[in-house]
């Protein structure tokens, strides 16, 4: 620091730091951030489906086709013996699809917005959150259709009102993982290939097509350590089996939160450097 430093003593800040004193109040900034997330999420959703009806139909069609394949295999070829298997399977598939879609679009979101990142400042984590919100639109539509089917076939399940909890957990977990991937992808562009394989492993390590009770005891523990598996099971507990376990629920909520928080802080630590590395 030079001698004509006019900063007051308490304002002297460590080297390499920027301090912005915003004129806008905290609530105003929060409103701006909310608007940025909404604008990005809606724009990405529209761009992805080209604003066309056929485009919107596609995101319904791809889980439906996946469902068709697995349903055929696991009822006609290998019998799973899971009660209510069709709904069990489709719930697993749409939740898994959301996770896959969300992590991939979060990972690629920063490089897709590179020109903006290099020219305009706003907190970069908004981009990743927006990517997750875009994925949530499709999840909500898909889930809505399944809820209708559940209502028609089973009536209103008694634990119906708890469904938003696993939904929020799923969002937090996928966004947390998305934060980590997005931050890493800026430096390592082959991460998308690696993640392709990991996501496939996650598919089989998570009870999407099978039921946990069909596994040997020792393997079950591995599945229970996986927050994603817990979230999928919660959906099924509440919608299909009317089963409630408080301890199971709390562990799931806490683990999803922890993943989100870790992802967020790791991302925030590196977000200042993204403009240079993109």
Partner 1 sequence: MPNIYRPHVIQLENVTKVFAIPHERKKTLFHWLTSMMGRHYDYEPLYALQGINLHVKEGEFLGIIGKNGSGKSTLLKVISNIYPPTEGSVLVNGDVFPMLDLGVGFQPEFSVKENIYLYGIMLGFTRKELNDRLRSIIEYSELERFADAKLGTLSMGMMLRLGFSIAIQSDASIFLVDEVLAVGDKDFWQRCEEQFKKFRAHGKTVIFVSHDLYQVQRFCDRVVVLTDGRIANEGAPEKMVEFYTNSSR
Contact between 121 and partner 1 by CB under 8 A: the answer reads yes
* Owner of token pair 């403009």: 275
20 binds partner 1 (CB under 8 A): yes
> Whole-angstrom Cα distance, residue 60 to residue 55?
9
Nearer to partner 1, 203 or 270 (CB): 270
The one among 9, 10, 14, 144 contacting partner 1 by CB under 8 A: 14
CB 48 within 8 A of CB 55: yes
Q: Is 145 in the site for partner 1 (CB under 8 A)?
A: no
Q: Which of 26, 77, 79, 190 binds partner 1 (CB under 8 A)?
A: 190
- Is residue 46 a contact residue for partner 1 (CB under 8 A)? yes
**Residue 191 near partner 1 by CB under 8 A:** yes
Hey, what's the torsion of the CAs at 137, 138, 141, 142, to 10 degrees? Answer: -150
Contact segment (CB under 8 A) with partner 1 among 5-13, 67-75, 89-97, 142-150 equals: 5-13
CA 112 to chain centre: 18
In the numeric block, which tokens belong to residue 172?
A: 């937090």
Q: How far is the CB of 50 from partner 1 (least distance, A)?
A: 8
What are the C-alpha distances in Å from 11 to residues 19, 20, 28? 9, 12, 24
Phi-psi sector, 211: left (phi>0), alpha (psi -120 to 50), beta: beta
Binding site for partner 1 (CB under 8 A): 1-2, 4-7, 11-24, 28, 31-32, 35-36, 38-39, 43, 46-47, 50-51, 113, 115-122, 187-191, 194, 272-273, 275-276
């Amino acid at each position: 620091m030079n001698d004509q430093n006019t900063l007051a003593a308490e304002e002297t800040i460590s080297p390499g730091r920027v301090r912005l004193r915003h004129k806008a109040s905290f609530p105003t900034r929060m409103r701006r951030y909310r608007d940025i997330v909404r604008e990005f999420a809606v724009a990405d959703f529209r761009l992805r489906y080209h604003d066309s009806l056929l485009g919107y139909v596609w995101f319904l069609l791809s889980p439906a086709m996946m469902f068709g394949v697995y349903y055929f295999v696991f009822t006609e070829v290998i019998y799973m013996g899971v009660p209510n298997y069709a709904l069990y399977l489709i719930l697993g598939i749409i939740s898994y699809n959301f996770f896959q879609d969300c992590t991939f679009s979060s990972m690629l979101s920063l490089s897709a917005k590179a020109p903006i990142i290099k020219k305009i400042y706003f907190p970069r984590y908004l981009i990743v959150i927006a990517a997750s919100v875009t994925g949530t639109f499709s999840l909500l539509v898909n889930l809505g259709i399944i809820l209708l089917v559940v209502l028609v076939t089973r009536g209103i399940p008694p634990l119906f009102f708890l469904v938003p909890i696993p939904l929020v957990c799923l969002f937090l977990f996928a966004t947390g993982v998305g934060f980590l991937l997005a931050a890493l992808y800026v430096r390592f562009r082959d991460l998308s290939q690696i993640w392709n394989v990991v996501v496939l492993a996650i598919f089989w390590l998570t009870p999407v097509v099978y039921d946990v009770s069909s596994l040997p005891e020792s393997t079950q523990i591995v599945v229970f350590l996986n927050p994603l598996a817990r979230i999928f099971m919660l959906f099924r507990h509440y919608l299909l089996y009317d089963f409630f376990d408080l301890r199971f629920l709390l562990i799931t909520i806490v683990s999803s939160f922890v993943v989100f928080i870790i992802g967020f802080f790791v991302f925030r630590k590196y977000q200042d450097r993204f403009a240079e590395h993109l």
